[in-house]
Structure 1
Amino acid sequence: MIDDETTILAIVDRFFGAFASGPGLDERMAELRSLFLPGAVVVRTCGDLAVYDVDGFVEPRHELLADGSFEDFAEWPVAGTVTVYGDVAHWWGDYAKGGRRDGAPFEGRGVKSIQLVRTDAGWRISAAAWDDERPHP
């Protein structure tokens, strides 16, 4: 039997793995949607607060990754911790991203907080929030 932490880490890996350019994008985006509860909330801080529902979060990223401006793009967790209490879990960690945008190499880092709940269908993301590093003045 796979333990909860292993299952949650696999969900986190699938979450980050969805954000990649190249073949299989439609399948990755469909899988990303399946990781969320229907009413989940995703929050971006990054200096400009934005609150998304699942479709409002997934669709613009799908379009951006499909339009050809990103090449060799990927996001991945760098380090994180999982806490589980009953049917509630939380992953908190650093992540990185990189590739080429409009032909120019770029990279970035940030933190994400992913809250999950156990459902009859297994663990699902109920909320996520992130903040990316910004240049310091």
Structure 2
Amino acid sequence: MRADEGGMAGSDEAEIEDVVRAFFAAFTSGPDTAARLDTLRDLFLPGAVIVSTGGREPSLMDVDAFIAPREALLSGGTLVGFREWAVGGRTDVFGDVAHWFGSYAKEWEQDGQSFGGRGMKSLQLVRTPQGWRISAAAWDDER
């Protein structure tokens, strides 16, 4: 974790780490998928923008459009053992805005075959009265 010239309070660092951890933990198949995705929904500001690139025209989504297909995949039974996690990242904070940029990995089984992938995610966060919330997210998977 890195801070701006004014420094980052330990509580800010811990709360941002918790948000990032909860963000990635939501993408896990199995029991409690709906609860994890509800937690994910709560991590975003209303009106947050999510962008996927992947070497094609960027796909822009609101929070519900982002979560709905993931909920179907994670709870539909076609993916087994899906999980996604942060591999490493960097956080910058200035006042009430923060940015986490880092690498992530994912793995799963489908139709008896194992799959995996990696990529980079960017999470923009803002401090609210309820704590740090994600105002925007963007990612690109390795090709």
TM-score band w.r.t. shorter chain:
over 0.9
The one-letter code sitting in structure 1 at the alignment partner of 2:51 is V
Q: Separation in 2 of the partners of 1:9 and 1:102?
A: 34
Deviating above 6 A after TM superposition, structure 1's stretches of 4 or more consecutive aligned residues are none
Q: Is the aligned partner of 1:24 residue 2:32?
A: yes
SS of the counterpart of 1:81?
A: strand
User: Which residue of the partner structure matches residue 116 of structure 1?
Assistant: 125
TM-score (norm: length of structure 2): 0.91
Q: Is the aligned partner of 1:47 residue 2:55?
A: yes
User: Which residue of the partner structure matches residue 89 of structure 2?
Assistant: 80
What's the C-alpha RMSD, in Å, of the aligned pairs?
Answer: 1.1
The one-letter code sitting in structure 2 at the alignment partner of 1:122 is G
1:15 to 19, 23, 36: 23
Q: Separation in 2 of the partners of 1:45 and 1:58?
A: 17
1:47 is displaced (CA, Å) by: 1.9
2:138 to 112, 116, 129: 129
Q: Give a deviation string over 1:76-118, Cα, whole Å, max 9, x none.
A: 0000011110000000000000020222100000000000000
User: Which residue of the partner structure matches residue 72 of structure 2?
Assistant: 63
Task: Kindly tell me the number of residue pairs found equivalent between the two proteins.
Answer: 134
Query: Percentage identity across aligned positions?
Result: 56
User: Which residue of the partner structure matches residue 36 of structure 1?
Assistant: 44
- Structure 2: which 5+ residue stretches go unaligned? 1-8
TM-score (norm: length of structure 1): 0.95
